[in-house]
Amino acid sequence: MTNPFNDPAAERSNKRVLSTARRQAAERDARLEETERELRLAKQDIDNPRPEFWEADLARFRAAKAAHAAARVGLPAERPIGTPISELSGRPGQPGYERFRDIAASWGYD
């Protein structure tokens, strides 16, 4: 009968398990360091807001949103999308009634 504490196969298996555990711990540590770095940067932005960057981001977002919406409906990006409610009327004979009917018809109403 062999001594289980001197079994070479068990020793190799234990070394593999230990190696895997060390690698997984190193990966966890790396992810934790990355998360901590991201949190430090986020806190730095919160503590020292830079509105000029926010305004630029907001302008880029609005331009991209308008271009995307225009492309979806086949309009040039410069043209505003939609009709202001102040230019519509639900009363026959009033300015904006024909546009109101066109919009209603596009939604399947009479």
- H helical segments located in the chain: 8-47, 51-73, 97-106
Q: Give me the pLDDT at residue 3, please.
A: 61
Three-state DSSP at 38 gives helix
Q: How far apart are CA 103 and CA 71, in angstroms?
A: 20
- CA distances from residue 19 to 10, 12, 82, 106 in whole angstroms, order as listed: 14, 10, 62, 66
Q: How big is the chain by its Cα radius of gyration, in Å?
A: 32
- Written as tens digits, the pLDDT of the chain (110 aa) is 556 567 777 777 778 878 888 888 888 888 888 888 888 877 776 666 666 666 777 777 788 777 776 666 655 556 566 788 888 898 999 999 998 998 888 888 87
With b for 16 or more beta-carbon neighbours within 10 A and e for fewer, the 46-75 pattern comes to eeeeeeeeeeeeeeeeeeeebeeebeeeee
Q: Give me the pLDDT at residue 49, please.
A: 64
Specify the DSSP class assigned to residue 90: S
Q: Give me the pLDDT at residue 53, please.
A: 64
